[in-house]
Chains A and B, each alone.
Chain A
Amino acid sequence: VAGKRQTKVEEKEKFSREAVAYLDHLYRVARYLTEEPDEAQDLVQEAYVRALGSYKQFTPGSNMKAWLTRILYNFFFDHYRQKKRWISVDDSSTAEKYVSDYWEKVAGENPGPEGYVLASELTTKITDALRKIPEEFRLPVVMIDMGDFSYAETAEILSCPIGTIRSRLSRGRRLVHSHLKAYVGIEKGREKK
């Protein structure tokens, strides 16, 4: 019996070590879910504890990164925010005032030399822009562009239809872009890196 218990402890520890490989990714997601860095750290730590508590539900060989992300996301909404998981918003109103601006200007705008920016500055600008946009548009961007998840994986994590993910991702990217209006000409900025 003692041997079995020891094996179980070792099994759990092995699982923890594999899960820790995704720490950077989970912290990234948590930073865009929470307001404060400390809150993000607490969220990640508790998500790991929760994941370990239900590690037997994880199928070896399946996508551990997506599984952990889903646990973190669910935990955030269960414990950090007492509100509906996926806020129902009128997709045609909240974002439109930002988006139309982008869509109208993106084609013909010439950024001029002052519009170009060094990559490090652009990184900060992108991070700031992501924080400014509504959460329902931010999360698909974080999951797909930062987390390298597919639409289907993101839909599973956020408990949302794939079509909604696609439309919100599209709007999310345009919102980010609209906040970077002064920095259009991204490619030229990269060349100066």
Chain B
Amino acid sequence: MKCEEARELITALVDQELLDPERPLLEMHLKECARCRFALEEERRLKTEIRAAADHLRAPAQLRNRILTDPRLFREKSQSTRGWRDYIWPRSFTLRPALIVTLLLVFSLSSLYLFNVNRTKQPIAVAALETYGLFLSNELPVSRANGAAKIKEQLIRAVGGSFEPMGYDFSAMNLEPVAGAIREIQGRKILVAIYQGQGGTLFCYTFVGSEADAPQAAARFFDADKKINFYAFSRGGMNAVLHREGDVICILASEMPMEELLALARSKARPS
């Protein structure tokens, strides 16, 4: 075999797409030809580098936002029941006030019921976020310490070392850990690491749980590269992104735009 003929076969070998009868012919040639062996190694390195270059090119947050808010792809909340109107709205004008009164009555009663009954049953992820508001109004008892290591140490001690806070480094976002807090919600301990700085305020919640702890209404995104599900949800003007690492759930919560928070969570999350 001539080196010229080996060119394409080397490419296929690099991609593990070279089969018989070409493979043994190339292998025989490679044993004899140092130049082609070098070319094989060089092509392998190039492929690795091109793959690495691909990882640096990600969809901009602006595009992600455009896709997620495109009503052709995702329903807007106001449109979610649009199709029902044709079927439930009475054609008769005399029946319409009766329907409105009935609906108002049903809505008021069910709201009262849900407010009283489900208040204690809201998902732990949503309940945890209430600490954010408490912190901003200085109502949350926190432990302030100098440095991320001390805060982490205090939080680990608070749960007897059974699990650890994520300990993410957000210094690139101008956010430094300033305090830690422990909350017990629905019998489960939640570690709260609080980051503040020029980048605003960010809470990182950690607790033992599963993806079932994500609110049902949360939007799920699957990161195909890391093979991790991310659940995005909002509460009281605050955005939150939940994901799982092993048997620990992490929630990042902040007032930053959802697409930025999601990108941040994706960049920090570690595959289990």
Residues of A participating in the B interface, judged by any CB pair closer than 8 Å = 1-2, 5-6, 9, 13, 16-18, 20-28, 31, 37, 41, 44-45, 48-49, 52, 65, 103, 106-107, 119, 122-123, 126-127, 130, 141, 144-148, 150-151, 166-167, 169-170, 173-174, 176-177, 180, 184, 186-187, 190
Minimum distance in angstroms from B258 CB to a CB of chain A = 13
Most interface-central of B15, B42, B70 (chain A CB within 10 A): B42
Chain B, interface residues (CB within 8 Å), range = 35 or more
Q: Which residues of A contact B83 (CB under 8 A)?
A: 2, 5-6, 9
Could you list some 27 contacts between A and B, CB below 8 A? A2-B88, A17-B219, A21-B223, A23-B63, A24-B58, A24-B59, A24-B224, A26-B59, A28-B54, A28-B57, A44-B63, A49-B70, A65-B224, A103-B39, A106-B39, A119-B49, A123-B52, A123-B56, A126-B53, A127-B53, A146-B50, A147-B54, A170-B11, A173-B47, A174-B7, A184-B42, A186-B48
| Contact call A41/B49, Cβ cutoff below 8 A | no
Candidates A6, A45, A146, A176; contact of B46 at CB < 8 Å: A176
- A5 vs B84: C-alpha distance in the bound complex, in angstroms? 9
| Contact call A49/B38, Cβ cutoff below 8 A | no
Q: Mark B35-73, 1 if CB is under 8 A from A, else 0.
A: 100110011011111111110111110111011101011
| Contact call A49/B73, Cβ cutoff below 8 A | yes
- A174 vs B38: C-alpha distance in the bound complex, in angstroms? 14
Q: Is B144 an interface residue (CB 8 A)?
A: no
Residues of B participating in the A interface, judged by any CB pair closer than 8 Å = 3, 7-8, 10-12, 15, 17, 34-35, 38-39, 42-43, 45-54, 56-60, 62-64, 66-68, 70, 72-75, 83-84, 87-88, 219-225
- A1 vs B58: C-alpha distance in the bound complex, in angstroms? 41
| Contact call B7/A170, Cβ cutoff below 8 A | yes
- A191 vs B34: C-alpha distance in the bound complex, in angstroms? 23
Most interface-central of B7, B34, B38, B54 (chain A CB within 10 A): B54
| CB-based nearest B residue for A8 | B83
Q: Which residues of B contact A9 (CB under 8 A)?
A: 75, 83
Candidates B63, B68, B72, B219; contact of A49 at CB < 8 Å: B72
Contact (A27, B68) CB under 8 Å given A122-B49, A170-B11: no
| Contact call A177/B42, Cβ cutoff below 8 A | yes
Q: Which residues of A contact B7 (CB under 8 A)?
A: 103, 170, 174
- A147 vs B75: C-alpha distance in the bound complex, in angstroms? 30
| CB-based nearest B residue for A146 | B54
Q: Which residues of B contact A151 (CB under 8 A)?
A: 12, 15, 17
| Contact call A123/B73, Cβ cutoff below 8 A | no
| Contact call A17/B224, Cβ cutoff below 8 A | no
| Contact call A169/B11, Cβ cutoff below 8 A | yes
Q: Which residues of B contact A52 (CB under 8 A)?
A: 72-73
Q: Which residues of A contact B39 (CB under 8 A)?
A: 103, 106-107
- A180 vs B42: C-alpha distance in the bound complex, in angstroms? 12
Q: Which residues of B contact A49 (CB under 8 A)?
A: 70, 72-73
Contact (A173, B43) CB under 8 Å given A21-B224, A146-B54: yes
Minimum distance in angstroms from B204 CB to a CB of chain A = 24
| Contact call B58/A27, Cβ cutoff below 8 A | yes
Minimum distance in angstroms from A60 CB to a CB of chain B = 15
Minimum distance in angstroms from A89 CB to a CB of chain B = 17
Q: Which residues of A contact B50 (CB under 8 A)?
A: 126, 130, 141, 145-146, 173, 176
Closest 3 CB pairs of A and B: A146-B54, A170-B11, A27-B59
Most interface-central of A22, A25, A26 (chain B CB within 10 A): A25
- A17 vs B73: C-alpha distance in the bound complex, in angstroms? 9
| Contact call B11/A45, Cβ cutoff below 8 A | no
Q: Which residues of B contact A166 (CB under 8 A)?
A: 8, 11-12, 17
| CB-based nearest A residue for B229 | A21
- A156 vs B83: C-alpha distance in the bound complex, in angstroms? 38
Contact (A186, B225) CB under 8 Å given A27-B57, A49-B73: no
